[in-house]
Structure 1
Amino acid sequence: MESHNIEKLLEKYFEATTTKAEEETLRDYFSKDGVAAHLAQYTPMFQYFSNAKEERFTKQVPLKPRKNFYRWASIAAVAVLAFGVYFGNDYREKKLEEQEKALIAYNETKKAFALLAENFNRGTEKVAYLNEFEETKQKIYNHN
Structure 2
Amino acid sequence: MALDRIEILLEKYFEAETSIAEEKELKDYFTSSDVAPSLEKYKPLFGFAVHSKQEQFSSAPFDFQHRHSATIPLSNIKRKSAVWLLVAASVLVLLGLGLFTFNYYNQQKSEDYGTNNDPEIAFRETQKALSMISESVNKGIGSISYLNEFEQSKNRIFKK
TM-score (norm 2): 0.47
Per chain length, whose mean CA-contact separation is higher, i.e. which structure has more relative contact order (CA < 8 Å, sep 6+)?
A: 1
Show the 5 A alignment for 1:84-95: 84-92=103-111, 94=112
Show the 5 A alignment for 1:18-29: 18-29=18-29
Contact 2:116 2:122 survives alignment (8 Å): no
Contact 1:13 1:23 survives alignment (8 Å): yes
Show the 5 A alignment for 1:62-81: 62-63=76-77, 64=80, 65-66=83-84, 67-81=86-100
**SS of the residue 1:18 aligns to:** coil
Q: Which has the higher helix share?
A: 1
- Identical aligned residues as a percent: 26
Q: Does 1:58 align with 2:71?
A: yes
TM-score (norm 1): 0.50
**SS of the residue 2:9 aligns to:** helix
Measure how far apart 1:58 and its partner are: 1.7
Partner Cα separation in structure 1 for residue 4 and residue 13 of structure 2: 14
Structure 1 regions of 5+ residues with no counterpart?
108-144
Partner Cα separation in structure 1 for residue 119 and residue 11 of structure 2: 84
Q: Tell me whether 54-63 or 12-21 shows the greater mean CA deviation.
A: 12-21
Measure how far apart 1:8 and its partner are: 0.3
Deviations 1:63-86 (A, max 9, x none): 323252222322232233134324
Measure how far apart 1:9 and its partner are: 0.7
The alignment covers a number of residue pairs equal to 106
CA RMSD, Structure 1 to Structure 2 (Å): 3.7
**Paired letter, 1:59:** I
